[in-house]
Chain A
């Protein structure tokens, strides 16, 4: 009787239910049976899920740990042009000087926030070590089993986790603090020109000190080149079943846990099979818990406001973009913002439909198998492709 609840361990090698990704044809047809997609679509179209900078939901967003989405160059230049106190002959020089000052302040603020964040999350390190995502994954499972066994689970929310989404992502982002010493020296030496250094080698800067240009360089290097090339939903693969090269490819492109090349080289040299795979599991757990926390908030609250920077980060870590796309430019454009949000909705609808998280009756591990990393960054759209602005009319059709 007791073991009945865990019988899925035997089924962890395959997804027993047939799963099909969403597509334009399935959405226009009458056979669309993805209830979560319908729920999220209604939530979005009725204005309960929005993207805006002001009044963004505090328990979800941590904008101070994320980089700017818009470079203020044009704004500063216009201000200087309109400033009558600045003589005409001085204007070009003042424009660049003010931009430089702005950048120094931006870096200072970024460093301060990174340090503060590391300080604030220190007690959590003592409590969870580096296993917070795994611990939370386990807690989610406990809560979902308890929820499933309730007499009338209905639409009431599942018991929440000990931390909210903001605290969870901040804990994950605290590792940026190790970049401070090197960056501090660079900023001291190069002052205003640190921006140039950061543009050339963007990874030396803490994440919240990046400029949109440097950020674009990073996102390009971590793009998922499999987008649009996956003919069918990948079958179950645990990290240990996956081929070593496949594991390394995912680790190289992942934004969640950035494994340096030297480390991967070392793993390969000593033929370490466990550590790279455990990193992959960590990535899977992080994304799962992040998705879970976001979905719980969206589905059980009247209003959810994601900050643009947070939306960009969600898309970045899930690799739901093409290498040529500039996420910051997209998020500052109404249509682009909409495209990004729809990508996220489709991704969630594909992964979480019919799971207890969203009112279904199977655990995530039951639906997809234990730590199924083959669908790690699968977009949920036909051929593993991403939707573009052309698809918006179909998606937004009521």
Chain B
């Protein structure tokens, strides 16, 4: 497997992008100095030997190198398995050299999947976490909060998050913690507190890491301030947040009355096979009297019903409520006329048919 890896320069991201991220992460080294390290670790990883880190590169520099790759993964929404392996190798190397952040991350990784690890490893992981917690290690406290939240222990999570915020409250990580606190309060629901936390979260964290905060904030403002909710939701959509498309579609259709825009949002959502988006798209088409598209959408809904039985009830109810529109839409074919005589005849009897089929083949 390892022998099949391509050369690093073939998979490595653009120099400009890396330099920008290094600058954002406040790295003391430039890519010129770091690239040979990336390359040597990558090559040693292929060979399966332990790599040597050059002098002048500290464990925290290795963590920065790892974060660069992680950021690229998040921004491009693309996972390259070779770079992911490199990321893990960097993390391992950093932990080996004694970086607490790396140790903490690895220890939690073991605890999250105890079934994939031996009992000894789990115990050792627990010991390390305990030790780091006693040292008030920031990331460990945050990860403890995340861990508690994952298993539904909200009060414990709250305790760890608040402790983390006592240690640092104006950093990128604090932004993530505010987002989590917002979610906990949103579930309670203590919406006023949740709103405050989400606002802090989006202030401290870049959009790609706080999409959830944007989404929840949009939900909070949905009925009191729809324009604000729309702006926040659009931010989510730029990150490809699945849930945002249908919400934006319904908002544009029902509140702002912009059926064209709604149609576009629904189109994006229906590409992700969201049933609500198909329904919204159909409604937009009927409102805009775009019957050919409505018919096409109707057929897609029926196809969806065949493939997914969970949708059956909802689709049946929808079609019952839209009987008149469905009957009208079914008159308009979205297939082109192959026979020119039929086409000519149709143009004489029904101008709409001719127009739709002539230009929208």
Contact A3 B256 (CB under 8 A): no
Q: Mask for A138-177, Cβ within 8 A of B = 1, else 0?
A: 1101100110010000000000000000000000000000
Minimum C-beta distance from A153 to chain B (A): 14
Contact B256 A9 (CB under 8 A): no
C-alpha spacing A171/B173, complex, angstroms: 39
A138-B221, A142-B192, A238-B257 known; A2+B226 contact, CB < 8 A:
no
A138-B224, A240-B255 known; A10+B192 contact, CB < 8 A:
no
Contact A149 B223 (CB under 8 A): no
Give the nearest-CB partner of B191 in chain A.
A142
C-alpha spacing A241/B254, complex, angstroms: 8
C-alpha spacing A305/B147, complex, angstroms: 55
Contact B187 A2 (CB under 8 A): yes
A interface, over-half SS: helix
Contact B186 A9 (CB under 8 A): no
The one of B187, B190, B250, B258 in contact with A9, judged by C-beta atoms closer than 8 angstroms, is B250
C-alpha spacing A240/B243, complex, angstroms: 24
A3-B219, A141-B224 known; A12+B255 contact, CB < 8 A:
yes
Residues from chain B with Cβ under 8 Å of A12 in the complex: 223, 250, 254-255
A365-B223, A370-B223, A370-B226 known; A10+B189 contact, CB < 8 A:
no
Which positions 7-24 of chain A face chain B at CB distance < 8 Å? 8-10, 12-13
Contact B189 A9 (CB under 8 A): no
The one of A5, A137, A240 in contact with B224, judged by C-beta atoms closer than 8 angstroms, is A137
Give the nearest-CB partner of A146 in chain B.
B189
B interface, over-half SS: helix
Give the nearest-CB partner of A12 in chain B.
B254
Q: Is the CB of A62 closer than 8 A to any CB of chain B?
A: no
Which positions 235-291 of chain A face chain B at CB distance < 8 Å? 238, 240-241, 274, 278, 285
Q: Is the CB of A371 closer than 8 A to any CB of chain B?
A: yes
C-alpha spacing A12/B247, complex, angstroms: 12
C-alpha spacing A6/B276, complex, angstroms: 15
Which positions 182-207 of chain B face chain A at CB distance < 8 Å? 186-187, 189-192
Q: Is the CB of A323 closer than 8 A to any CB of chain B?
A: no
Contact A5 B189 (CB under 8 A): yes
Interface centre among A3, A9, A139, A365 (most CB of B within 10 A): A9
Residues from chain B with Cβ under 8 Å of A285 in the complex: 224
Residues from chain A with Cβ under 8 Å of B221 in the complex: 138
Minimum C-beta distance from A337 to chain B (A): 35
Q: Is the CB of A134 closer than 8 A to any CB of chain B?
A: yes
C-alpha spacing A240/B219, complex, angstroms: 19
Minimum C-beta distance from A251 to chain B (A): 18
What's the tally of chain A residues with a CB closer than 8 Å to chain B? 28
Contact A371 B226 (CB under 8 A): yes
C-alpha spacing A365/B258, complex, angstroms: 21
Contact A10 B219 (CB under 8 A): no
Residues from chain A with Cβ under 8 Å of B247 in the complex: 9
Contact A6 B224 (CB under 8 A): no
Give the nearest-CB partner of A14 in chain B.
B254
Residues from chain A with Cβ under 8 Å of B191 in the complex: 141-142, 145-146
Contact B189 A238 (CB under 8 A): no
Residues from chain B with Cβ under 8 Å of A274 in the complex: 227
Residues from chain A with Cβ under 8 Å of B255 in the complex: 12-13, 238, 240-241, 370-371
Residues from chain A with Cβ under 8 Å of B190 in the complex: 146
Interface residues on B, range: 20 to 34
Residues from chain B with Cβ under 8 Å of A141 in the complex: 191, 223-224
Q: Is the CB of B41 closer than 8 A to any CB of chain A?
A: no
Contact A6 B222 (CB under 8 A): yes
Residues from chain A with Cβ under 8 Å of B158 in the complex: none
Q: Is the CB of B225 closer than 8 A to any CB of chain A?
A: yes
Give the nearest-CB partner of B247 in chain A.
A9
Q: Is the CB of B122 closer than 8 A to any CB of chain A?
A: no
Residues from chain A with Cβ under 8 Å of B251 in the complex: 9
Give the nearest-CB partner of B187 in chain A.
A2
Minimum C-beta distance from A307 to chain B (A): 30
Residues from chain A with Cβ under 8 Å of B186 in the complex: 2
The one of A139, A145, A370 in contact with B222, judged by C-beta atoms closer than 8 angstroms, is A370
The one of B224, B225, B250, B258 in contact with A10, judged by C-beta atoms closer than 8 angstroms, is B250
C-alpha spacing A18/B253, complex, angstroms: 22
Q: Mask for B234-273, Cβ within 8 A of A = 1, else 0?
A: 0000000001000100110111111000000000000000
Contact A6 B226 (CB under 8 A): no
The one of B187, B219, B220, B225 in contact with A134, judged by C-beta atoms closer than 8 angstroms, is B225
Minimum C-beta distance from B293 to chain A (A): 20
Residues from chain B with Cβ under 8 Å of A365 in the complex: 223
C-alpha spacing A123/B192, complex, angstroms: 21
Give the nearest-CB partner of B190 in chain A.
A146
Which positions 358-389 of chain A face chain B at CB distance < 8 Å? 363, 365, 370-371
C-alpha spacing A240/B257, complex, angstroms: 6
Residues from chain B with Cβ under 8 Å of A8 in the complex: 223
Residues from chain B with Cβ under 8 Å of A138 in the complex: 220-221, 224-225
Residues from chain A with Cβ under 8 Å of B254 in the complex: 9-10, 12-13, 238
C-alpha spacing A262/B191, complex, angstroms: 41
Give the nearest-CB partner of A135 in chain B.
B224
Give the nearest-CB partner of B246 in chain A.
A10
C-alpha spacing A146/B193, complex, angstroms: 12
C-alpha spacing A9/B216, complex, angstroms: 14
C-alpha spacing A12/B225, complex, angstroms: 13
A9-B250, A9-B251 known; A238+B224 contact, CB < 8 A:
no
Interface centre among B223, B255, B276 (most CB of A within 10 A): B223
Give the nearest-CB partner of A369 in chain B.
B254
Give the nearest-CB partner of B219 in chain A.
A6
Minimum C-beta distance from B190 to chain A (A): 7
C-alpha spacing A2/B226, complex, angstroms: 19
C-alpha spacing A145/B216, complex, angstroms: 15
Residues from chain B with Cβ under 8 Å of A3 in the complex: 219, 243
Give the nearest-CB partner of A10 in chain B.
B250
Give the nearest-CB partner of B183 in chain A.
A2
* Cβ contacts A to B, 26 pairs, < 8 Å: A2-B187, A2-B219, A9-B222, A9-B247, A9-B250, A9-B251, A9-B254, A12-B250, A12-B254, A12-B255, A13-B253, A13-B254, A13-B255, A134-B225, A138-B221, A138-B224, A141-B223, A142-B192, A149-B189, A238-B254, A238-B257, A240-B255, A274-B227, A370-B226, A371-B226, A371-B255
Interface of B toward A, CB cutoff 8 Å: 186-187, 189-192, 216, 219-227, 243, 247, 250-251, 253-258, 276
Interface of A toward B, CB cutoff 8 Å: 2-3, 5-6, 8-10, 12-13, 134, 137-139, 141-142, 145-146, 149, 238, 240-241, 274, 278, 285, 363, 365, 370-371
Q: A12-B250, A138-B221, A238-B226 given. 11 additional CB < 8 A pairs?
A: A3-B219, A5-B189, A9-B254, A10-B250, A13-B254, A13-B255, A145-B191, A146-B189, A240-B255, A240-B256, A371-B223
